[in-house]
Amino acid sequence: MIPKFTAKGYEFTEFATARNYIAGEWCDPLTSKDVQDVLNPRHGKAMSKVKMGGKDDVDAAVRAGEAAFKDWSQWPIRDRAQVFYKLKTLMEANLEELSWLLSHENGKLFGESKAEVEKGIECAEYGCSLPNVGAGEKLEVSRGVTCEVVYNALGVVAGVVPFNFPNMVPLWMLPQALVGGNAFILKPSERVPLSTMRLVELFGEAGLPKGVLNLVQGGQPVVEALCDHPRIKAFGFVGSTKVAKAVYGRASSHGKRALCLGGAKNHLIVVPDADVAVTADNVVASFMGCAGQRCMAASVLIAVGNVDHIIQAIVERAAKLVVGKDVGPVTTEAARKRIQGYIDGAEKAGAKVLVDGRGAKADAGGYWVGPTILDNVTPEMPAGCEEIFGPVLSIIRVPNLERAIEIENANPYGNASCIYTTSGDVARRVMESVEAGMCGVNVGVPVPREPFGFGGWNDSGFGAGNITGWDGYRFWTRQRKVTTKWSLQKDQNWMS
């Protein structure tokens, strides 16, 4: 489907048009004529097109999923997991190609893309392990009577993913959902459909039967059709808070189970006893990695007391970064303007620009913003409380730890929170008090590695539990409780 990858380096490459994949066939949308450009953010040029699907394509995908589900759900779990062993091997063999493709459509640096694909491989590995951890629970509750929990597939389920991790985020959902025996409809971001298409091709090569995984391209109309479809049993979503909240409500109103992860405004608290080099390296990597377009990226640094020596080290490191080489572009021209607006607004409101990424340039036509550090930001400024989703660090100064925790907890988001300190006591106090689902102690991007579950609190996540790890398996399956009397006993009890 996608032409053999040939580009080396960052030269511009054009790819085939993105289409739907239904019942194991690449196909055009049934009725929608909407076609959009897929832009390479490094050059601002169209590298492909995407044919946007509609409601009738969702219907077709549901029918294909239902047909495939009949057989797939009957495969032993060990056989279903075998697909992930093969997928992992195929992803490793195609690591370079997957990483370059991702880099082209998303704009990430090659190293960042490779790290994403490697994290996707780790998620696939978790799928391999599910038969061992997912054996169910059994207990003899009375003499000769057992109760057992069996994990059953739900049927046809759906997942919608954002632009920033088109390889990894689908793999947050697919191992648990597919090894659990479901058929899946995946909707990639229309901005980056190609990486997900290549992943779907590899699933086919790994032996996944036709119709078990279907791809519908598109935007809001497809997402709404997935929420509304009466025969889709569960709905997973990862994206911005505004959309996560809306689709959680919409899918739940149709009786679907839904888990929808949203945006973030992650706070890093730095106290004077923090290790300077560890803190500075971590903070810089956290706020500018993937050009700040990570839901786990540092956004606010709360400076407790006098930590000027640490801020100076952060500024020195950030100022040395070369745009285009150390920092990739942001996703669109609209995103570049939005980020610049936050910087301009904060400066106008009294913030001091310590490192200024405005006007940064690398390859012509690309959407560039350099690392930016704003000092003396207040929690009321938009740069101090809203998700910027760019390489911008806002410093809020406070006199003590209590005020730092108060500011952090007043923010509606609750994805990640980090503390930089060499004091165990301080670390523990922060970890026990902050309103965040994922916490780091001297770690700037505290993504829980498999088998731990990924998920934020408050406005960063709607629905119960985490999307990865064991919670993910529970989300994509239903639990049947079976009580068995193994022998006809003489002695009677209430269970007889």
Interacting residues toward ligand NAD by CB under 6 A:
160-165, 187, 189-190, 219-220, 223, 238-240, 243, 247, 261-264, 295, 387, 389, 415, 456, 460
Closest distance to ligand NAD from the beta carbon of 75 (Å): 29
Bridge pairing between strands 25-27 and 438-441: unpaired
| Cross-strand bridge partners of residue 22 | 25
Closest distance to ligand NAD from the beta carbon of 142 (Å): 44
Q: Determine the residue type at 484.
A: T
Dig out the tokens for 359 from the structure: 């006007």
Closest distance to ligand NAD from the beta carbon of 467 (Å): 7
Q: Which is nearer to ligand NAD, 107 or 181 (CB)?
A: 107
Q: Which is nearer to ligand NAD, 81 or 369 (CB)?
A: 369
Task: Please enumerate in sequence order all residues whose Cβ is within 8 A of that of 9, keeping only pairs 6 or more positions apart, or say none.
Answer: none
Round to whole Å and give the CA distance between 470 and 331.
Answer: 32
* Nearest residue to ligand NAD on Cβ basis: 239
Phi, psi dihedrals of residue 65, rounded to the nearest 5°:
-65, -40
Task: Please enumerate in sequence order all residues whose Cβ is within 8 A of that of 187, keeping only pairs 6 or more positions apart, or say none.
Answer: 158, 159, 160, 161, 215, 216, 217, 218, 222, 223, 226
Nearest CA to 458 out of 267, 283, 270, 319 is that of 267
Q: Which is nearer to ligand NAD, 153 or 388 (CB)?
A: 388
Distances (CA, A) of 232 to 63, 72, 143, 157, 185: 10, 16, 41, 5, 9
Round to whole Å and give the CA distance between 334 and 330.
Answer: 9
Closest distance to ligand NAD from the beta carbon of 247 (Å): 6
List, as one string, the DSSP characters of 203-255.
Answer: HHHTTPPTTSEEE---SHHHHHHHHH-TTEEEEEEES-HHHHHHHHHHHHHTT
Under 8 Å between Cβ of 211 and 183:
yes
Q: Which is nearer to ligand NAD, 65 or 162 (CB)?
A: 162
Q: Which is nearer to ligand NAD, 154 or 215 (CB)?
A: 215
N residues, the chain: 496
Which entry of 227, 260, 290, 295 is annotated as an active-site residue?
295
Q: Which is nearer to ligand NAD, 159 or 371 (CB)?
A: 159
Torsional sign, CA 391, 37, 164, 159? positive
295 labelled catalytic: yes
Q: Which is nearer to ligand NAD, 265 or 317 (CB)?
A: 265
Strand blocks (E) in 74-215 = 137-142, 145-153, 156-160, 183-187, 213-215
Under 8 Å between Cβ of 227 and 235:
yes
Closest distance to ligand NAD from the beta carbon of 242 (Å): 7
Closest distance to ligand NAD from the beta carbon of 11 (Å): 26
Active-site residue list: 295
